[in-house]
Amino acid sequence: MAVRFCLFLKDEHRQLFAGLSIYTVEDKTLQTAFRLYDFAWGIAIPLLRNAPRLKDGFTGRTLEEPLPEADIWIQAASGGEAFLARTLLSRLRTAGTTRVLVTTNTRQGKDIIDGFIPEITQANPTLCVFSAWFPFDRPSVMSAAAARVNPKLAVLLESELWPGFIHALKQMKRPVYIVNGRMTEKSLSGYRRFPAVCRALAPDAVFAVSKEDKRRFETVFGGGLASVMSNIKFDSLPAPAADTYDGRDPGWTGRLLPEKSPFIVLGSVRREEEGHILDIIRRVTMKRPGAVIGLFPRHMERVDSWKKMLSEQQIPWQLRSAGFQSIRPGDVVLWDVFGELASAYAEAQAVFVGGSLAPLGGQNFLEPLAHGKTPVIGPSWENFAWVGVEIFRNKLVIRVNNSKEAAEQLIGLADNPPPGANTAARAGRYIAARQGGARKACELIEKALIASASTISERNRS
């Protein structure tokens, strides 16, 4: 099987485990496969102690820190899945006190979980929520972890398929569910290399976010296992308030921007696409010399590089941290201050969202949409494919192929911005029509919790 810890290894270690990272079942038993998998982890774990992404929480990953007992075990790999767990728990309703363990693989995920626990437990006192690091998937480690937690059921969020974890829970006859399930064609081609093991590790049910994902999961695990749900991420999106997005806030713009200058925001710009973004700036400043451009690098360490690039192109620029008194029509405001992108989206006439002009999967283009703005993005948006292509057909988001097309669209929007209230209202309807996935998943968990508790009780009596 594909050993997921290879994703965390340093480059010099990966080749060492390449031969152990794939296992095909031919004339060998599942038990032998797991012995090999356990052996590979046994070699890897000592080397992982100082891996930058794994040394944080290492004692938790190796069970040197004990795990709490829980009724439900939710695995949320990183930050995105941690937010999904928050949305799920905010809608979970159980009879009586329920202990929930939420585990994660990353520091970002751990911080998010620790941050929302007080909010969740205050809103629903019947829930006792704990956070912990997800143990290394070594079968012997996972068997000990599962025995200690002793969950009535487990939930894997999105694309998490951990063989040791699933196998340990199956040995205990505890149901495992994949919720908000996603599987790429690349992952499918890998899983097809060991069909017998995949069928043996099939979860009890999969709730996939699209018909395509459902098909892929059933190709791996067998037919009749998966169903389609609305993506839980839609449930976490606030409904845009259609009556608040027409016109600028004069107090905000009076402090920041020259009066009557179109404001164009280039948000979440990534290093790999900086050449394309520079071309957009050149084209916009040439055709609309009075526009003010707000440039938001995704990572602050790129600010100095942008200073150099803009100066070399003789494009006037100002740092946001220097204030706004000296900003003139035609300036680029290089944003070196955190936390103001959402406000800038709300004030802009035109918005481009980065991470999309290079093959990076895109950044969050739903945020400007929620502020009543029609965002322009490049061809790469795979990270947000769950939103659906209908968002382009409905002209809520404009997708372009290159920097030239992006500049043309931004100029058009700056000259004739669509009514914010209309955009926000249509965005709200689009989002609302796709909500409800979290409640559906919670209904599954609530019913499964009752059924599993009854089964465990009968098994203990017998």
**pLDDT tens sequence across 131-156:** 999 999 999 999 999 999 999 999 99
Whether 443 and 332 share a structural domain: no
Amino acid in position 439? R
- CA–CA gap between residue 235 and residue 86 (Å, rounded): 11
- CA–CA gap between residue 234 and residue 387 (Å, rounded): 8
Whether 405 and 448 share a structural domain: no
DSSP 8-class letter at 419: P
Would you state the pLDDT for residue 256? 66
Kindly indicate the confidence band of residue 10, based on its pLDDT and cuts at 50, 70 and 90.
very low
Render pLDDT for 232-246 as a digit per residue (tens, 0 to 9): 999 988 777 555 444
Average pLDDT score over the chain: 88
Whether 273 and 232 share a structural domain: no
Kindly indicate the confidence band of residue 86, based on its pLDDT and cuts at 50, 70 and 90.
very high
Query: Does residue 403 surpass a pLDDT of 90?
Result: yes
Distances from the Cα of 297 to the Cα of 183, 213, 227, 319, 325, angstroms: 30, 33, 40, 12, 22
Residue 312: CB atoms within 10 A of its CB come to 9
Q: What total number of domains does the chain contain?
A: 2
Whether 94 and 142 share a structural domain: yes
Contact between residue 423 and residue 429 where contact means Cβ atoms under 8 Å apart: no
- CA–CA gap between residue 259 and residue 415 (Å, rounded): 15
Residue 1, domain member (yes or no):
no
Whether 207 and 249 share a structural domain: no
Question: Which of 7-21, 356-370, 395-409, 416-430 has the weakest average pLDDT?
Answer: 7-21
* Across 67-96, average pLDDT: 95
* Across 36-41, average pLDDT: 91
Whether 337 and 317 share a structural domain: yes
Contact between residue 263 and residue 291 where contact means Cβ atoms under 8 Å apart: yes
Whether 248 and 384 share a structural domain: yes
Render pLDDT for 415-439 as a digit per residue (tens, 0 to 9): 998 888 889 889 999 999 999 999 9
Residue 73, domain member (yes or no):
yes
Kindly indicate the confidence band of residue 339, based on its pLDDT and cuts at 50, 70 and 90.
confident
Residue 132 sits in a domain whose CATH number is 3.40.50.11720
Tell which residue, 404, 298, 412, 293, has the closest CA to residue 361: 298
Kindly indicate the confidence band of residue 376, based on its pLDDT and cuts at 50, 70 and 90.
very high
Contact between residue 149 and residue 89 where contact means Cβ atoms under 8 Å apart: no
Whether 212 and 333 share a structural domain: no
Question: Which of 4-8, 68-72, 160-164, 290-294 has the weakest average pLDDT?
Answer: 4-8
- What tokens appear for 246 in the block? 């027409």
Query: Does residue 25 surpass a pLDDT of 60?
Result: no
Residue 45, domain member (yes or no):
no
Beta strand residue intervals within 153-200, DSSP E: 153-157, 176-181
Whether 198 and 250 share a structural domain: no
Residue 6, domain member (yes or no):
no
Whether 224 and 304 share a structural domain: no
Residue 360, domain member (yes or no):
yes
Residue 363 sits in a domain whose CATH number is 3.40.50.2000
Whether 266 and 411 share a structural domain: yes
Would you state the pLDDT for residue 386? 85
CA dihedral sign of residues 66, 68, 74, 77: negative
Whether 62 and 117 share a structural domain: yes
Question: Which of 36-50, 176-190, 290-304, 319-333 has the weakest average pLDDT?
Answer: 319-333
Would you state the pLDDT for residue 28? 55
Give me the percent of the chain exceeding a pLDDT of 70: 90
Residue 48, domain member (yes or no):
no
Q: Which domain holds residue 260?
A: 242-432
Would you state the pLDDT for residue 12? 32
Residue 36, domain member (yes or no):
no
Give me the percent of the chain exceeding a pLDDT of 90: 66
Residue 12, domain member (yes or no):
no
Considering the entire predicted model, what is its pTM? Answer: 0.76
